[in-house]
Structure 1
Amino acid sequence: MKYLSGSLLQILDASLRLNSFSKVAEELGLTPAAVSYQVRLLESRLGFLLFTRQSGGLEVTKEGRLICQQASKSLTQMHSAIAQAKQLNQDNKTLRITASTRFATQLLLPNLARFKSSNPDIDIEIDISDKIRPLVQSDFDIAIRFCDGVLEGAVEIKKLMNTSLVAVCSEAFWQQHQALLESPKTFPQFLLCSVKCRVGSLEWPSWSNWFENFTDIEWNTAEHISFDEMTQVIQFIQDENAIGLVEPKLATREVSSGRLVQLDKRELAIPAPYAYYAIIPDGRKDRAPIQKCLQWLQGLVNNSERKQ
């Protein structure tokens, strides 16, 4: 309607709420005379009153209430549209990633600078957490999680990589005990360490699973230490005289640099469908930053597999 400018919509909305042209003027940064003039001009064009002036303030007429309520709705819709437009504009520049601790510390963060250098126009926000968030209601664009790939809610799920466990020790420990460490039969003579956790219905495999799958060795008498995270296992192996079970795809830096030595070529596979997945809320997968990031992540995974 040509009668209603943006400023007049604000005046009508505020007048309905405040019942005073003086208060409306104060809120909108106008003079009371300017507010009163615009309302009188609109009433003249419409041919009926919107407000009656009382000693205690304004009283809205039935016609005025109908129009002012619609003005309030129009402003609300405009504010909503502006907020959505701002979000769309931000979405073209910002990529919000939440990653599990193992994946983030061992693969994502050490290589993130390369992605940023290739995509300087994308702002990146990183959250490190092992919790499965309700991503449909969250601000994150990609969640990288180890899970069974079955999640509730409207999300897209892309498998990034399967994983496994191998036996490793530090380079110094290998040099000191090389003759003994060439055979898994001697492993129980040394301090063993691994991760102890549960993901869904999966009990994370430990040394008992490794020995049961690959040897007939009695290992229960071996000294064993458990940790919550693989990063703790890797640090303990490097600091102490211990043999640990680690995920080779998430320890490629340590193995390729010689800080860790893989003692046996056999890998204990983590049973399907458990794997590392990229989880994307519906409606976001076609965004250019997300597609670029997914391609980059897959490249990281492929590169870690080649280095094994």
Structure 2
Amino acid sequence: MKRTHLPLNGLRVLDAAARHLSFTRAADELAVTPAAVGQQIRALEDMLGVVLFRRTTRGLELTPEAAAGLEPLRDGFLHFEEAVRAMQAGQTSKSLTIAAPRDVTEKWLMPRLARIAAADGELRFVLLAADGAVDFAEANLDLAVRWGEGPGAEEGEAIESEGLVTVAAPGGGAAGTIAWPGLPDPTAPLQVGDAGLAIDAAAAGLGRATVPELLARTDLGTGRVVALDEARPSAHGYWLVAPLPQWRQRKVQALVDALTA
């Protein structure tokens, strides 16, 4: 018999009926009707080509054929339960792998992870640099941070931000624009690899940079850079994303909640 054709529902009904020697009590346990139990047993008997129960004056009895299979059947259900527990164990794991752009990790993610880890000393993080699309399966990722207009094909939650802000060194500096890939400008006199470098370049007096307020927040707070205008909404932003199986994990949801609190 092919494993893919195992009548698991019928075998589950057989186990319950054999333990109770009663279709009625088995139905109560399984939250179905006694008629449904009887139908499952008859379908299983037809498939296997054996009789599983006989009615006698003393009530329901197992046939020798049914009794012969019960012990390995119950062992099999125990193995199923162990398999489910093993698969669910990852949800309670204290290890999380996160992919994020380098500048997001440095200016936003790392300080928050430090606070989260301080509250739970058992947590372990693996941080990967990723500026574009990531393969969750290949990298064994739990969560990623992505710049865009939405979560794309994954599940996601937006990281709250006031949008974009233009920053420069406190004493001024060069008047030119500093461009980065998220806001490209081929005419800008200075091109850098990411928004974090754009903030650093602005702080060094190399020009003015329009960057996510989320990343400039700390540097603005310390006075390393100053805002040249009010923050303004942007269609683009940073998102915490993951495919649905990872997103549903309790440890991932706990991390998302902590990061967005």
TM (norm. structure 2) is 0.59
Which residue matches 2:219? Answer: 254
Matches within 5 A, 1:1-308: 88-93=88-93, 94-135=95-136, 138-149=139-150, 151-152=152-153, 155-161=154-160, 164-171=163-170, 173-174=171-172, 190-197=175-182, 204=183, 206=185, 224-265=189-230, 267-271=231-235, 274-299=236-261
SS at 2:132 equivalent: coil
**Aligned CA distance change for structure 1 residues 260 and 83 (closer, same or farther; 3 Å):** farther
Shift of 1:119: 2.2
2:166 and 2:238 map into 1 onto residues whose CA distance is 21
- Answer yes or no: is the 8 Å Cα contact 2:100–2:131 preserved in 1: yes
Which residue matches 2:31? Answer: none
- One-letter amino acid of the counterpart of residue 255, structure 1: L
Shift of 1:104: 1.4
1:261 and 1:151 map into 2 onto residues whose CA distance is 33
Which residue matches 1:44? Answer: none
Shift of 1:161: 3.3
SS at 1:284 equivalent: helix
- Answer yes or no: is the 8 Å Cα contact 1:122–1:289 preserved in 2: no
Shift of 1:277: 1.6
1:163 and 1:140 map into 2 onto residues whose CA distance is 28
1:290 and 1:196 map into 2 onto residues whose CA distance is 29
Shift of 1:115: 0.5
CA RMSD of aligned residues (A): 3.3
1:147 and 1:278 map into 2 onto residues whose CA distance is 11
Which residue matches 1:40? Answer: none
**Aligned CA distance change for structure 1 residues 150 and 246 (closer, same or farther; 3 Å):** closer
SS at 1:283 equivalent: helix
SS at 1:251 equivalent: helix
Shift of 1:85: 5.5
SS at 2:246 equivalent: coil
Shift of 1:83: 8.3
2:132 and 2:84 map into 1 onto residues whose CA distance is 28
Q: For each residue in 1:143-183, what CA deviation from the matched residue of structure 2 results, as whole angstroms up to 9, or x when unmatched?
A: 1111232534xx42222235632222112x24xx8xxxxxx
- Answer yes or no: is the 8 Å Cα contact 1:162–1:270 preserved in 2: no
Shift of 1:257: 0.5
2:254 and 2:118 map into 1 onto residues whose CA distance is 13
**Aligned CA distance change for structure 1 residues 257 and 137 (closer, same or farther; 3 Å):** same
1:237 and 1:288 map into 2 onto residues whose CA distance is 40
**Count of aligned residue pairs for this structure pair:** 186
- Shifted more, 83-92 versus 225-234: the winner is 83-92
**Aligned CA distance change for structure 1 residues 132 and 109 (closer, same or farther; 3 Å):** same
Shift of 1:285: 3.1
- Answer yes or no: is the 8 Å Cα contact 2:151–2:241 preserved in 1: no
Shift of 1:135: 2.4
- One-letter amino acid of the counterpart of residue 145, structure 1: R
**Aligned CA distance change for structure 1 residues 85 and 102 (closer, same or farther; 3 Å):** same
1:283 and 1:144 map into 2 onto residues whose CA distance is 17
For structure 1, the 5+ residue unaligned runs are: 1-77, 178-188, 198-203, 209-219, 300-308
Which residue matches 1:42? Answer: none
Shift of 1:86: 5.3
**Aligned CA distance change for structure 1 residues 147 and 264 (closer, same or farther; 3 Å):** closer
- Answer yes or no: is the 8 Å Cα contact 2:151–2:240 preserved in 1: no
- One-letter amino acid of the counterpart of residue 129, structure 2: I
- One-letter amino acid of the counterpart of residue 164, structure 2: L
- Answer yes or no: is the 8 Å Cα contact 2:143–2:246 preserved in 1: no
**Aligned CA distance change for structure 1 residues 241 and 123 (closer, same or farther; 3 Å):** closer
1:150 and 1:112 map into 2 onto residues whose CA distance is 21
Q: For each residue in 1:47-91, what CA deviation from the matched residue of structure 2 results, as whole angstroms up to 9, or x when unmatched?
A: xxxxxxxxxxxxxxxxxxxxxxxxxxxxxxx8x998876564354
| Fraction of identical pairs, as percent | 18
- Shifted more, 100-109 versus 248-257: the winner is 100-109
**Aligned CA distance change for structure 1 residues 81 and 103 (closer, same or farther; 3 Å):** farther
